[in-house]
C-alpha cells in the first residue's frame, strides 16, 4: 500500500518542485483544474501592470511598434513552437481556439477542393465525444459552405480507421479528450488519414504543455490549441494555430483581416496575403491578455516537456493507484486509460453522484470539475501539483464517500 | 483672429473638463490619436490588477461564474448599447471587429439567401476607401461562399445611391471614414438600401463614443465596432456587434462556437443556437482585455454623448479655424468635411510632405498619425482633449512648417 510518506518522498525527489513557488496558489487549496484554467504565474501580475500602466498609458499608440505589440502573435508562437514539435515561423498566438479551428478546417477543405484528385471529398470526420465547440465549428462551416459538405461522427476512436475513407476530406480530432483524458495516436491516425487521401486538423487544447507533441514528427497538417489550460496564459488568453511548412505556400483561410495582409499599413483596397504563418491572423489582438501568455512560456523555458511528462504520468499513476486502494468499496469507474501512451494529464472518474461528490470536494478545497454524464475530472499540472496534493485529494474523496458527505439534491449550478 | 486666451476661456467653460484627470496622459504630450488607440482611464490599472491578482489568482476557474466572466460580453454590451442607440440584449462585446464583420456579413447574406424575393442578390456594396480590413473581410467572405457573390466598390459616397440596386444583397460601410473623418448619413443610406431591397452592415469603429449613433432610429440592420478607439478600452480590446431586434430570431452566423450554444455546458454534440444576441459569440473570450472595456464605459456614464458631440465639434471647428488662420501660407488641404453633419471627431489635413511633417510633430510631443497618401490625422477625444491642446498643436505645426523643420528623406517606419 502507498503511504503519505511515499508521496512526500516523491516530492522531495521532484526536479520540478522549484517551479511551484512561481505560481500564485491560494493557501490550502488543492487545485486540480489546470486542464480548464491554469493557475497564475506570479510574473503575470507585473506583466499586466507593465502592459497597462507603462506600454498603454505612456507608450500609447507607439507601443504597437516600440513594445512589439504588432509582432506579439509571432513572437509568442515561436516560443510556444518547441512544446508542440513545431519550428519557428510555423505558429501564431491569436484569436480563440474556435475561430482558429474554423480558419484551419476551411484551409484544409480549400486545399482539398483545389486538388483535382481530392475535390470530390466532402466528409469531415470527427468524434462525437470531441469537445463540443470543435464539432459545432465543423457543423457551422459545413452548413455555411454548402456544396455537399457533411460531418461524419464516430462513437469511439476505434471506429476512426473505418470511418476515414475515400470520401474523407479532413479528419479533425482533439489529441487528448477533454472528458476522458484519453490521448489518441497522432502519428498513426495521421498516417492512416494520409494513406486515404485525407488531411488532419488536430486540436491540442489538452496537450500543449501537458504531453510531448511532435507535429512535424507525426507529419500532421494543421493544428490549433489553447494557452489558458496547461500553458497558464490567463483566463481566455488567445489560442494558437500551426500550419505545416509544406502547406504554408498554399495556405488560405476565409477570415482575411488586415493583420494577414502583405502590407497592412499600405491600406490597399485589395487583399493580398502576407507570406507565411501570419496568414492565419485576422484582426487586432487583445494585447493585455496576449502579453500574459509569455509568463507561462517563461516557466516552460526553465524545464523540458519530457520532465513535465514524466512527472505527469507519476502524478496520474499515483492518483489512480490511491483511488483504487483507498476508495475500493465505492462505485467509482475509471474513464481514463491505464496505458501511458493513451493518457493525457488528467484522470476522469465516474460516480453515479459525481456532480454532488465534486461539489463536496470543492467545498473542502479539492478543486476538480464535473462533466456530464457522471464524470469527475482531475487535472494534474506538473509545474505546480505535488504528490502530497494527490494524497490529500484522494483522502478527502475517500472521506466524503465513506461518510456520504454530499448532497445529491443540491442544485446544479454550472461548474465551468 | 482666435487667440490662445480664447482657447483657455473655452477650457474654463468646458463641462467635460472634470473627466480629463481620470485619464493617464504623459506630461507634456498632446495626444491626438484617440481615434486609433484611446488613452488609458486610470481605473484600468486597478481593474487589470483585480482580474489578474484577485479573480484569476484566487478565484481561479470559479471566476467564470463568481466574477461574472462568462456574462461579460453581454454585460458590457448592455452598458455600451445606449451610446449607439441600441437597447439591452442587442449588443455583445467579443472577438475583433474583423471577425465580427465576417459574422454579420455572413448573417446578412444568409438572411437574403433565405428570402425567395432576395435570394438572387449577389452583390456586396462598399466604398473603396473603406477601412481595408472591412473590404478584405467582404472579399474573403465572397470568395469563400462562391455562388457568384461579388464586391462592388464605389469611389465616393456620392455614388452609393446608384450603386445600391436590385442586385445588391448587402451594403457595408464604415459610418465615419478612418482616413478623412467624413461621416455618412446612416439613416438616409439605410432607407435607400431598404427601398432597394438590400440590408446594411455598419462599422462604427470611428463613431462609438465619438458621435451620437442611433441604430434603432436609423432602422439599421447589423453593426460592428471597436472599443479601443474613442471608448478607451485598451490595446486591441474586444470589439462589439449589434443585431436589430427584428433580425434576431433569424440570426445565424457561421462561427458557431460553444459560447453561442443554447446550453454550452450540457456538451451536446449538435449545435443548437441560444436565443438572442449571444448567437454572435463564438469561443472563450480574453478576460483581462475584455474587463478593462468597462473602465472606459464608466466614464461615459458620467456624461452624455450629446455633450461629447458638442465639445467634439467645438474642438474640430477650432482646429480647422486655427490651421486656416495660422498656417495659411502652406500647402495644406483639408480632407474632412466642414459641414457638421458630415464630420466625425477627427480632422485630416493633407500636405505633400505629410509623413515627414507628422514625424516632426510627434518628435515635438504633438502625436497625430499618418495615412497614405499625404494625410495627417488628428483625432479629438472630448473626454481628455483641451482647447489649449488644439492651440498648442497648431502652433507646433505652424512652427514646423514656417521653419521647414522636417526631414523629407527620413525613413518610413510605420506609424500605427
| Segment A325-343, tens digit of pLDDT | 999 999 999 999 999 999 9
Give tens-digit pLDDT for A90-108: 999 999 999 999 999 999 9
How big is the CA angle at A99 (ends A93 and A103), to the nearest 5 degrees? 90
- Measuring CA to CA, how many Å separate B387 from each of B16, B29, B30, B304, B390? 12, 14, 11, 19, 5
Closest CA to A132 of A33, A221, A205: A205
Active site residue A229: yes
How far apart, in whole angstroms, are the C-alpha atoms of residue B312 and residue B226?
19
Give the distance from residue A254's alpha carbon to the nearest chain B alpha carbon, in angstroms. Answer: 5
The owner of cell 496564459 is A233
Write out chain B residues lying below 8 Å of A271, CB-based.
Answer: 132, 135-136, 139-140
Cα Rg for chain A, rounded, in angstroms?
A: 22
Q: Which is catalytic among the residues A14, A78, A95, A203?
A: A203
What b/e sequence results for A8-21 when a residue is b if at least 16 CB atoms lie within 10 Å of its CB, and e otherwise? eebbeebebeebbe
What's the confidence (pLDDT) of residue B100?
98
Instruction: Supply the CATH classification number for the domain A47-302.
Output: 3.40.640.10
Write out chain B residues lying below 8 Å of A102, CB-based.
Answer: 254-255
Q: What is the mean pLDDT of chain A?
A: 97
What's the confidence (pLDDT) of residue B414?
54
Closest CA to B39 of B402, B380, B413, B405: B380
How far apart, in whole angstroms, are the C-alpha atoms of residue B319 and residue B393?
9
Query: A127: burial class by Cβ within 10 Å (0-12, 13-18, 19+)?
Result: buried
End-to-end Cα spacing for chain A: 35
Residues of B with a catalytic annotation lie at: 131, 203, 228-229, 377
Q: Is B396 annotated as a binding residue?
A: no
Q: Which residues contact A208 (CB under 8 A, 6 or more apart)?
A: A80, A83, A84, A225, A226, A227, A229, A230, A231, A240
Question: In what helix (H) or strand (E) does residue B201 lie, and over which residues does it extend?
Answer: strand B199-203
Give the distance from residue A170's alpha carbon to the nearest chain B alpha carbon, in angstroms. Answer: 17
A-chain residue closest to B290, CA distance: A286
Which grid cell is B416? 500605427
Instruction: Supply the CATH classification number for the domain B4-31+304-401.
Output: 3.90.1150.10
The dihedral region occupied by B126, where left means phi > 0, alpha psi between -120 and 50, and beta the remainder, is beta
Give the distance from residue A309's alpha carbon to the nearest chain B alpha carbon, in angstroms. Answer: 23
What's the confidence (pLDDT) of residue A414?
54
What b/e sequence results for B13-44 when a residue is b if at least 16 CB atoms lie within 10 Å of its CB, and e otherwise? ebebeebbebbbbeeeebbbbbbbbbbbbbbb
Give tens-digit pLDDT for A217-238: 999 999 999 999 999 999 999 9
What's the confidence (pLDDT) of residue B267?
87
Closest CA to B203 of A378, A283, A261: A283
How far apart, in whole angstroms, are the C-alpha atoms of residue A124 and residue B321?
62
Write out chain A residues lying below 8 Å of B44, CB-based.
Answer: 52, 56
What's the confidence (pLDDT) of residue A213?
98
How far apart, in whole angstroms, are the C-alpha atoms of residue B352 and residue B370?
12
What's the confidence (pLDDT) of residue A376?
98
Inter-chain touch A254–B143, beta carbons under 8 Å: yes
Inter-chain touch B65–A413, beta carbons under 8 Å: yes
% of chain A at pLDDT higher than 90: 96
Q: Is B284 annotated as a binding residue?
A: yes
**Which regions in chain B score pLDDT beneath 70?**
411, 413-416
pTM of this structure: 0.97
B-chain residue closest to A369, CA distance: B61
Interface test with A, best of B132, B151, B358 (most A CBs within 10 A): B132
How far apart, in whole angstroms, are the C-alpha atoms of residue B355 and residue B375?
8
Say which of B60, B129, B289 has its CB closest to residue A31. B60
Give tens-digit pLDDT for A176-199: 999 999 999 999 999 999 999 999
What's the confidence (pLDDT) of residue B411?
67
Size of interface A-B (CB pairs under 8 A): 303
Distance from chain centroid for Cα B132: 14
Which grid cell is B115? 428570402
Inter-chain touch A285–B57, beta carbons under 8 Å: no
| Annotated binding-site members of A | 97-98, 131-134, 174, 203, 206, 228, 258, 284
The dihedral region occupied by B9, where left means phi > 0, alpha psi between -120 and 50, and beta the remainder, is alpha
- Measuring CA to CA, how many Å separate B341 from each of A58, B207, B318? 34, 13, 16
Q: Are B89 and B79 in contact (CB under 8 A)?
A: no
Query: Average of pLDDT values for A8-30?
Result: 97
Write out chain A residues lying below 8 Å of B266, CB-based.
Answer: 372
In the structure, what pLDDT confidence band is assigned to residue A416 with cuts at 50, 70 and 90?
A: very low
What's the confidence (pLDDT) of residue B377?
97
Write out chain B residues lying below 8 Å of A31, CB-based.
Answer: 60
What's the confidence (pLDDT) of residue A411?
67
The owner of cell 491642446 is B389
Q: Give A93's strand partners.
A: A240
Query: Average of pLDDT values for A381-399?
Result: 98
What's the confidence (pLDDT) of residue B372?
85
Active site residue A203: yes
What's the confidence (pLDDT) of residue B266?
87
Q: Which residues contact A148 (CB under 8 A, 6 or more apart)?
A: A122
Instruction: Please give the DSSP secondary-structure letter assigned to residue A111.
Output: H
Residue intervals of chain A classified under CATH 3.40.640.10 are 47-302
Residue intervals of chain B classified under CATH 3.90.1150.10 are 4-31+304-401
What's the confidence (pLDDT) of residue A410?
72
Write out chain A residues lying below 8 Å of B24, CB-based.
Answer: 53, 57-58
What's the confidence (pLDDT) of residue B416?
46
Q: Which is catalytic among the residues A23, A31, A131, A384?
A: A131
Q: Which residues contact B401 (CB under 8 A, 6 or more apart)?
A: B327, B330, B351, B357
Give tens-digit pLDDT for B163-177: 999 999 999 999 999
What's the confidence (pLDDT) of residue B409?
84
Q: Are A255 and A280 in contact (CB under 8 A)?
A: no
ipTM of predicted assembly, 2 dp: 0.97
How big is the CA angle at B302 (ends B301 and B306), to the nearest 5 degrees? 80
Query: Average of pLDDT values for A140-151?
Result: 95
Amino acid at each position: 500500500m502507498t503511504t503519505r510518506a511515499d508521496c512526500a518522498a516523491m516530492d522531495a525527489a521532484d526536479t520540478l518542485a522549484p517551479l511551484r513557488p512561481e505560481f500564485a496558489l491560494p493557501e490550502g487549496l488543492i487545485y486540480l483544474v489546470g486542464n480548464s484554467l491554469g493557475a497564475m504565474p506570479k510574473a503575470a501580475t507585473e506583466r499586466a501592470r507593465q502592459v497597462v500602466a507603462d506600454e498603454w498609458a505612456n507608450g500609447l499608440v507607439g507601443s504597437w511598434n516600440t513594445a512589439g505589440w504588432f509582432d506579439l502573435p509571432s513572437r509568442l508562437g515561436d516560443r510556444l513552437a518547441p512544446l508542440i514539435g513545431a519550428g519557428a515561423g510555423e505558429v501564431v498566438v491569436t484569436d480563440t481556439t474556435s475561430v482558429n479551428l474554423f480558419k484551419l478546417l476551411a484551409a484544409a477543405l480549400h486545399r482539398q477542393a483545389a486538388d483535382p484528385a481530392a475535390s470530390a471529398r466532402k466528409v469531415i470526420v470527427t468524434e462525437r465525444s470531441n469537445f463540443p465547440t470543435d464539432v459545432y465549428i465543423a457543423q457551422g462551416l459545413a452548413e455555411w459552405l454548402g456544396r455537399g459538405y457533411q460531418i461524419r461522427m464516430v462513437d469511439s476512436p476505434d471506429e476512426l480507421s473505418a470511418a476515414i475513407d475515400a470520401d474523407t476530406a479532413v479528419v479533425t480530432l482533439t489529441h487528448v479528450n477533454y472528458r476522458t483524458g484519453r490521448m489518441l495516436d497522432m502519428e498513426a491516425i495521421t498516417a492512416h488519414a494520409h494513406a486515404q487521401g485525407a488531411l488532419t486538423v488536430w486540436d491540442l487544447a489538452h496537450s500543449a504543455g501537458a504531453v510531448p507533441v511532435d507535429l512535424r514528427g507525426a507529419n500532421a497538417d494543421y493544428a490549433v490549441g489553447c494557452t489558458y489550460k496547461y500553458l497558464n496564459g490567463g483566463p481566455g488568453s488567445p489560442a494558437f494555430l500551426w500550419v505545416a511548412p509544406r502547406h504554408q505556400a498554399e495556405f488560405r483561410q476565409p477570415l482575411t483581416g488586415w493583420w494577414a495582409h502583405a502590407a497592412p499599413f499600405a491600406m490597399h483596397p485589395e487583399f493580398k496575403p502576407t507570406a507565411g504563418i501570419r496568414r492565419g491572423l485576422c484582426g487586432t489582438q487583445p494585447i493585455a491578455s496576449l502579453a500574459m501568455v509569455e509568463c507561462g512560456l517563461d516557466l516552460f523555458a526553465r524545464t523540458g516537456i519530457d520532465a513535465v511528462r514524466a512527472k505527469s504520468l507519476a502524478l496520474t499513476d499515483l492518483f489512480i493507484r490511491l483511488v483504487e486502494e483507498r476508495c475500493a468499496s465505492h462505485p467509482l469507474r475509471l474513464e481514463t486509460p491505464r496505458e501511458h501512451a493513451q493518457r493525457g494529464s488528467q484522470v476522469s472518474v465516474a460516480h453515479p453522484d459525481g456532480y454532488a461528490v465534486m461539489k463536496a470536494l470543492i467545498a473542502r478545497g479539492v478543486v476538480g470539475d464535473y462533466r456530464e454524464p457522471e464524470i469527475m475530472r482531475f487535472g494534474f499540472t506538473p509545474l505546480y501539483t505535488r504528490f502530497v496534493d494527490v494524497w490529500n485529494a484522494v483522502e478527502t474523496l475517500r472521506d466524503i464517500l465513506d461518510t456520504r458527505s454530499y448532497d445529491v439534491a443540491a442544485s446544479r449550478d454550472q461548474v465551468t
